[in-house]
Structure 1
Amino acid sequence: MTNTVSYIKEWQQALQNEIFFLKKFGSSKYKVINGRLLSSDGTYPYYFDTTLPLKIPVGSSITLVWGGFKQQGRTLSSEGKGIIVQLEQSLGDLIPEAFIYHDPWELLEQLIERLDEIKKSKQKRVRVNRLMNPSMPAKHPEEKIKNNVHEVVLRSKYNPVTFVWGPPGTGKTYTLARVAANKYFQEKSVLILSHSNQAVDVLITEISAFIKKKARFREGDVLRYGFNTAVAEDTQEALTTSQLLLKQEPSLVEDKDNLIEERKNLKQDLADSFSKRDSNQLLELEKKIAKVLEKIRQKEIEFVKEAFIVGSTLAKAASDPAIYGKEFDVVILDEASMAYVPQVAFAATLGKRVIICGDFKQLPPIASSRDSLVNKWLKEDIFHQSGVVDWVESGKLHPHLFLLKEQRRMHPDISAFTNKYIYHSLVGDHVSVLNSRNEIVEHGPFPGRAAILLDTSYMGAFCLNEKTSNSRINLWQLLISFQLIHESYLGGSRSIGFVTPYRAQANLMDILLQELYEQERSSSDIVSATVHRFQGSERDVMVFDTVDSDPQERAGMLLTGKESERLINVAITRTKGKFIHVCNLSFFRKHAFNRKTIRQLAEHQEKHQQSVRTKDIGMWIKNHLPRLQWIHALQLDKVFNDLKHAHSSIVISLPPHMVLTDQWKSAIVNRNQSTELTIISEMSWPELQPDNYWQEEGYTFPFIIIDLQILWLGLPLDRGKGIQPPFIAARLESEKVCEYLFGQLIT
């Protein structure tokens, strides 16, 4: 058994290795312009304009890069579209354009400091040891258990460490909120922690609502502590420090608001004209604001001391002595499976009892370095590292693990796969979930069906690696998925998610939604994101685009690698009523083993008659957008008309297997003579009389881009190898997608 000091030394080294990696290869890069030196008294503060508000905390370390110069510095102010940074040396009076690099490694440095403090405290070391080696016998009286909430209350009363396994939709928030309220009714102090602001907000809101329902709410007893909180500002009772300040110290808030407004106006003046007097005035304002903020800070510390239930992020807890300097009766850590093990250990030292809640079947923590200690301690969760998962894999539940067994989120046709293949039949459906999701199921597309496998097999070889990032995109599945979103919206759904393993595909869908669906999004909740970004969210309808298809020679590691089961689990379990899996089944049958989760999902859907084939495309596409139309291969007039009316450029991709009819050749050759023709092909096409040849390899599907405005994909001329009828083309009017394809894939 590893002793606690050895654990801490390894954790600190892992954190140092991650910090080193972030400092060397950090990726958070922000463009800043119009830099002006505000003072040359030895501190070198610069004011920059920014195109977007930068959320860089005051005091954070930054690196400023200007041409061949690189300077370290810190942020003095980051408000609105302007930032003031203090550099170590002067780079002159004016900096027209530069880049600021910021990665939050200070948070890791602060965690290293907290671990140093744990080393010196015997009590804290004992708490860490209990967390990492939970071998002590369970002492809670099982005969007294009344329900789930009561069991967690009893466990956390009699045992120092309680693990709660909360699969998606099993009432984790409901349970934890009532456990926290129960402790509060006993006048115990409770610290609510999570890695994300959203999770803390949700729990604090639920706790306060339950306490109010019991008519036992006292203002100031429940406190959401920290910034970036989305706890409702319109509640009658104050839950955040800013709400309490507004009620108890309105003049202090007014002073702060007035000074910030004055600074905003002065920054506008600076943008229009620049003078030494203005810069001195701005620096003086920053000093005044700093003084007011310090007064506010002292009041906030008082609020934390007086509160019984405090909610905060793990990062805030490790950096703020108001939290880490206080002892709590119970610590509740939510979404623990996404937190670094050293973060969880730090959290466990803050209270006499700790409840660790999460789902080790969802995505693990994220770290950047490939160092072995980072892999061990920052890329795997506490459930695995404490041995809890070993018990589950041997077919038993650990004595200190409590499982929430009934899911209430997904329609049973969706949860059938995850219940069986991911949770090995340990989780079932609550009786209410069928009726509660039927309304969503009845919406189009595919009314009456909750789970659909939309099979894109034999439609073409559309999957490419984006040249700039190497992330995968699939334009055909992108347009199919967009059509599914459109059909869902017109079918009555207003909560729709598009999720994919690949960032490039998610970004491209976001571009498409912004350009073609801006009005619809303004009145509904339609989101495109990677699976990692979707964890913790849910939507009525989810479109899961797996992207992978020919001509790729293997399936991506995101879908077949070590963590693929977790990723696919998250993608499915975000769904309430309709799960649409866009997938090239023939590709995965060739490139994924039977035991891989993605193959099991596709085969499960096939077995349960959830498949929709290529030949059925005309049956479910009911509503064409003016700017996205699906056209049968026999309808050649539209593409010929577009070619005829092109006025500046035509770009045509012709893969090696292409055969052009005389009609096609004539339409291309007889184009407007002022229109420049570019052919992308490994073959030579002199009969088309192109202005440019691009000898490109790897473009395995044909497309036409006309005037950088219109994209024809899956052209009527494409009846190549591996493609089966019906032969369908998509016509998309999208300047941004055409620019993307032209810029990212061709140049």
Structure 2
Amino acid sequence: MTSTLFLIKSWQKALQIEISYLKKYGSSRYHLFNGRLVNQQLTFTYYFDSNERMNIPNGSSVRILWGSIKADGKVLSSEGEGMMVSLEESLGDLVEEAYLQHDPWELLEHLSDRLEDMKKSKQKRVRMKKLINPIMETKHPTDNIKNSLHELILRSKYNPVTYVWGPPGTGKTYTLARVAANKYLKGKRVLILSHSNQAVDVLMSETTAFIEKKGKFHEGDILRYGSQMSEMILKHEGLTAHQLLKKHYPELAYENEQLSNERRLLKNDLTQSFSIRDSEHLLKLETKLARLMEKIRQKELEFVKEAMIIGTTLAKAASDPAIYENNFDLVILDEASMAYVPQAALAASLGKRVIICGDFKQLPPIASSNHLLVNQWLKEDIFHHSGVADWVKKGSLHPQLFLLKEQRRMHPDISSFTNKYIYQSFVTDHKSVTTTRNHITESSPFSNQAAVFLDTSYMGNYCITAGQSHSRINLWQLFLGFQCIQEAYMSGNRSIGYVTPYRAQAIFMEKLLFDLYQVELATADIIAATVHRFQGSERDVMIFDTVDGDPEGRAGMLLTGKDSERLINVAITRTKGKFIHISNGSFVQQHVYQSKALRKLVEHQRQENQVIWPRDIGKWIKYQHPRLQWMYARKLEPVQQDIQSAKKSIVISIVNTGGLSNEWLNIIHLRNREVKLTLIASETIPAIQHNQLVLQNFPFPFICIDEQILWLGTPLDETENIRPPFVAARLNSKLISEYFLRQIQS
């Protein structure tokens, strides 16, 4: 058996490799401009402007990239769209443009330090060993178990480590909150941890609400510890250090508020009109705030010492001695499947008992390096490394694994796939999910259907790689995805999600929603995101856009790689009442192996008669948006009118240069000759007089007019991958048109 010291050294090595990778290559970059040298003493202090809010914690290590120079430094002030940094070397008096690189390597260094502490503590190593090698024999009594909640309470009382498998919708938050409350009512100290602030907030809010309902809440006993928290936490009185400070030490809270407001106004002035005097004032203000924060910090430590239930992130637990130097009766690690194994070990080392809760069928932890040790320890979860997941793979449950087995989120037509193919029939539906989801299922689009496969086969070659990101976009499926959102919204749905494996596609939808749906976004819960960002969320209606299609020669690794089953599982299980899967079925059949989850999903939905074929597009589109119109492609009058009305520019992509009809040549010929015409084609076209020719084998035809109107599906030239019905889409969006043109030109 591998020794605990050897494991700790392996984890530290993996962390150092990841840290080195992040320092060398980085992943988070921010564009800075108008850099001015503010102060020069032991270090060089610069003030930069930015077009985006960064909110990087003061004191964070960063790197400024300026040409070939890489200058390391610390953040002195980061609030709003201004940034003050202290650098180890000079960049001159003025820096026109630079990039700031900030990645969480400091958090990984803190974690490595905690592992070093673990080497020196036999107690912590014993706890860690029980986590990695859970014993086969359970110690809790099995007679007179009343229900699943009672069983988990007993398990967490008698067993040093309890693994909880919580598939989506099985009441994980409900159950964990009541376990935490039970320990609290018995005078035990509980630490609640997760990798994300959102997960901590959800569990702390549920725990507090339950204790309040019992009439047992005492101010200061329950503490949400940290700096970033949501409204669900702030609505509870006396749950945060800031709220407690304001009540018990109002003079400190008032001074902090005054100085923070002064800093905000000063930074706004600096953004509008920079001056050395104001920047030096800001530097002094930050120093004053730092001294005040140290006083506040001492009061916060008092709150932590008195609290019986503390909720915070894994990063905070690794970096704050108020947590990692403490000892708890029970530690609850939520969403453990997304935590690094060393983080899970840290959690286990902090308590006499630990509950490790998550779903190892969902997405694993994320790391950047591809080193063997990083892949082994930072890209796979504790369920797999402890052997718990292996038992499930063989068809049984490890003795220390507690399963929440009834899902109450998804309509059965949605969960039928995941229950069978992902969860191997370990998970079943609660009887309530059919009746409670009917009002969503009955609504548009696709009335009275809970699960739908919107097949885009033979509708065109719209899948391309975006710019230099190697991420993929598919404008046709993007437009269909927006149309599904429009149908759902117009039929009364206000909880709608659009999810995709590809960041580039998610960004396109974010921009499209921002441009066309600004009013709707203010009154509804509509979000577009990658699958990774969506884990932990849920919506009434979910649209899953796989993006992949012709002319790409293969499906992307996100949909076919080692973790593709977990990604697809997350995409499906965010849904309550209506799941719409947009995918190119013929492409999937040709390019995805039968053993892969995406192929199984397509075939399952076809077997269950959940397919909406391309020929049905005219039947399900009921609520056309004024700025996204669908029409018969062979009717050329609308596009002809747009071309002839062009005022500045026309961009036309032509795939088959020999396939243009005389009718099309005439439409192009009759345009205003003062309007700039750019052709994108694989060769010159003598029949068309143009201002610019871009020699490019672009995969699909499109027309963009005045960088405002974007046409897809117009029959400029015929391709074998388009079959009836012939449908065209007209989008009126300057934002999307300009962004699309930039993507294909980069």
Identify whether the pair has TM-score above 0.5, normalized to the shorter chain: yes
**Equivalent pair of 1:45/1:86 in contact (CA under 8 Å):** yes
Query: Structure 1 CA distance, aligned partners of 2:274 and 2:75?
Result: 21
Distance 1:446 1:276 in 2: 62
Indicate the larger mover: 171-180 or 599-608. 599-608
Aligned residue for 1:492, secondary structure, equals coil
Whether the aligned pair in 2 keeps the contact of 1:231 and 1:240 (CA below 8 Å) is: no
Deviation string, structure 1 residues 362-415 (Cα, Å, up to 9, x no partner): 000000000000000000000001100111111110000000000000011100
Give CA-to-partner distance per residue, 1:480-529, whole Å, 9 cap, x none.
11111111110111111110111111111111111111111111111110
CA distance in 2, matches of 1:388, 1:425: 17
- Greater Cα shift, 266-275 or 634-643: 266-275
Does residue 28 of the first structure (1) align with residue 28 of the second (2)? yes
- Mean Cα displacement is larger for which, 189-198 or 439-448? 439-448
Deviation at 1:89, TM superposition (A): 2.7
Q: How many Å apart are 1:272 and its aligned residue?
A: 5.3
Q: 2:201, 2:232 within 8 Å by CA — same for their partners in 1?
A: no
Query: What is the SS of the residue equivalent to 1:688?
Result: coil
1:17 maps to 17
Using the TM superposition, give the Cα deviation of residue 268 of structure 1 relative to its aligned residue in structure 2, in angstroms.
4.0
Assess, with a 3 A threshold, how the Cα gap between structure 1 residues 647 and 34 changes in structure 2: closer, same or farther: closer
Contact 2:632/2:727, CA 8 A, preserved across alignment? yes
Amino acid at match of 1:298: Q
**Are positions 1:473 and 2:473 aligned together?**
yes
Question: 1:342-421, aligned counterparts within 5 Å?
Answer: 342-421=342-421
Evaluate the alpha carbon distance shift between residue 276 and residue 363 of structure 1 in structure 2; reply closer, same or farther with a 3 A threshold: closer
**CA–CA distance in structure 1, aligned partners of residues 541 and 328 of structure 2:** 41
> How far, CA to CA, are the matches of 1:201 and 1:743 in structure 2?
39
75-84 or 114-123, larger mean C-alpha shift: 75-84
Q: Which residue of 1 aligns with 2:702?
A: 703
What is aligned with 1:713?
A: 712
**Distance in 1 separating the partners of 2:210 and 2:670:** 73
User: In the TM superposition, what are the counterparts of 1:30-179 in structure 2 within 5 Å?
Assistant: 30-179=30-179
SS at match of 2:58: coil
- In the TM superposition, residue 694 of structure 1 has moved relative to its aligned partner by 1.9
Contact between 1:656 and 1:683, CA under 8 Å: does it hold in 2?
no
Matched residue of 1:472: which SS? strand
Measure how far apart 1:607 and its partner are: 0.7
Q: Report the Cα distance in structure 1 between the residues aligned to 2:144 and 2:342, rounded to whole angstroms.
A: 34
2: CA distance, partners of 1:244 / 1:411: 43
State whether structure 2 residue 429 is matched by structure 1 residue 429. yes
Q: CA deviation at 1:716?
A: 3.2
Give 1:34 shift: 3.2
Q: Residues of 2 paired with 1:741 and 1:278: CA distance?
A: 41
Q: Which residue of 2 aligns with 1:452?
A: 452
Q: Deviations over 1:538-576 (max 9, x none)?
A: 001001011111111111111111101000000000000
Tell me, what secondary structure is at the counterpart of 1:687? coil
Please state if 1:207 is matched with 2:207: yes
* Structure-to-structure mapping, 1:219-230, within 5 angstroms: 219-230=219-230
**Matched residue type, 2:715:** P
Answer yes or no: is the 8 Å Cα contact 1:719–1:727 preserved in 2: no
Q: Distance in 1 between matches of 2:448 and 2:360?
A: 33
Q: Structure 1's 44 and 420: CA in aligned 2 closer, same or farther, altered over 3 A?
A: same
Alpha-carbon distance in structure 2 between the residues aligned to 1:674 and 1:399:
78
Query: Which residue type is aligned with residue 641 of structure 1?
Result: Q
How far residue 144 of structure 1 moved from its aligned partner, in angstroms, is: 3.0
Q: Contact between 2:49 and 2:83, CA under 8 Å: does it hold in 1?
A: yes
- Taking structure 1 as the reference length, the TM-score comes to 0.98
Letter in 2 for 1:634: R
- Which residue is 2:241 aligned to? 241
In 2, Cα distance between the equivalents of 1:313 and 1:87? 29
Shift, 1:231, TM fit: 4.7
With 632-641 and 421-430 compared, the bigger mean Cα shift is at 632-641
Counterpart position of 1:191: 191
Change (3 A) 1:251 1:127: same
**Alpha-carbon distance in structure 1 between the residues aligned to 2:365 and 2:699:** 37
* Mapped partners of 1:181, 1:390: distance in 2: 32
Question: How far apart, CA to CA, are the structure 1 residues paired with 2:531 and 2:634?
Answer: 38
Deviation, structure 1 residue 315: 0.1
Deviation readout 1:436-481 (Å, 9 max, x if unpaired): 1111111111111100111111111111111321111111111111
SS at match of 2:39: coil
Structure 2: where are the runs of 5+ without partners? none
Distance 2:268 2:204 in 1: 38
Deviates more, 1:142-151 or 1:42-51: 42-51
Residue 745, structure 1, aligned to residue 726, structure 2: no
**Number of matched residues?**
746
Please give the per-residue CA displacement for 1:622-668, whole angstroms capped at 9, x wherever unaligned. 12222111110231111111111222222111113762221111111
Match of 2:252 in 1: 252
The worse-fitting range, judged by mean Cα deviation, of 629-638 and 450-459 is 629-638
Label 1:466 to 1:266 Cα distance change in 2 as closer, same or farther (>3 A): closer
* 8 A contact 2:654–2:717 mirrored in 1: no
Deviations 1:280-336 (A, max 9, x none): 433332222111111110111110110000000000000000000100000000000
| Aligned amino acid, residue 187 of structure 1 | G
The alpha-carbon deviation at position 737 of structure 1 amounts to 1.8
Give the gaps of 5 or more residues in structure 1.
none
Q: How many Å separate the matches in 1 of 2:675 and 2:265?
A: 50
The equivalent residue for 1:297 is: 297
Overall identity of the aligned pairs, in %: 61
Higher alpha-carbon deviation: 570-579 or 245-254: 245-254
**Amino acid of the residue matched to residue 702 of structure 1?**
P
CA–CA distance in 1 between the matches of 2:258 and 2:388? Answer: 53
- The residue matched to 1:143 in structure 2 has which SS? coil
Matched residue SS, 1:447 = coil
Q: What is the deviation of 1:603?
A: 0.8
Q: Distance in 1 between the 2:371 and 2:575 partners?
A: 35
Instruction: Report the CA distance between 1:250 and its aligned residue.
Output: 1.1
In 1, are the aligned partners of 2:656 and 2:717 still within 8 Å (CA)?
no
Give the aligned residue type for 1:562: K
- Distance in 2, Cα, partners of 1:565 & 1:625: 35
Q: 1:690 to 1:83 in 2, by over 3 A?
A: closer
TM-score, normalised via structure 2 length: 0.98
SS at match of 2:91: coil
Q: How far did 1:279 drift?
A: 4.1
Quote the Cα distance in structure 2 between the aligned partners of 1:233 and 1:123: 34
Q: 1:731 maps to what in 2?
A: 730
Deviations 1:100-150 (A, max 9, x none): 111110000010000000001111110111111113411111113211111
Q: Deviations over 1:15-36 (max 9, x none)?
A: 0000000000002111233333
Separation of aligned partners in 1, 2:162 and 2:193? 15
What is the one-letter code of the residue matched to 1:12? Q
Q: 1:618 to 1:386 in 2, by over 3 A?
A: same
1:167-225 deviation per Cα after TM superposition (whole angstroms, max 9, x unaligned) = 00000000000000000011000000000000000011000100011111111111100
- Between stretches 97-106 and 568-577, larger displacement belongs to 97-106
Whether 2:590 is the aligned partner of 1:590: answer yes
8 Å CA contact 1:56–1:78 kept in 2: the answer is: yes
Q: Distance in 2 between matches of 1:136 and 1:125?
A: 19
Whether contact under 8 Å (1:205, 1:231) holds in the other structure is no
- Distance (whole Å) between structure 1 residues aligned to residue 163 and residue 320 of structure 2: 26
Residue 622 (structure 2) aligns with: 622
Cα drift, residue 593 of structure 1 = 1.8
Given that residues 461 and 700 in structure 1 are in contact (C-alpha distance below 8 angstroms), is that contact kept between their aligned partners in structure 2? Answer: yes
Residue 7 of structure 2 is matched in structure 1 by 7
Aligned-pair distance for 1:703?
0.8
State the 1:70 CA deviation. 2.6
Q: Is the 8 A contact 1:649 1:707 kept in 2?
A: yes
Counterpart of 2:148, as a letter, is N
Q: 330-339 or 721-730: which moved more? A: 721-730
The alpha carbon displacement at 1:236 in A equals 5.6
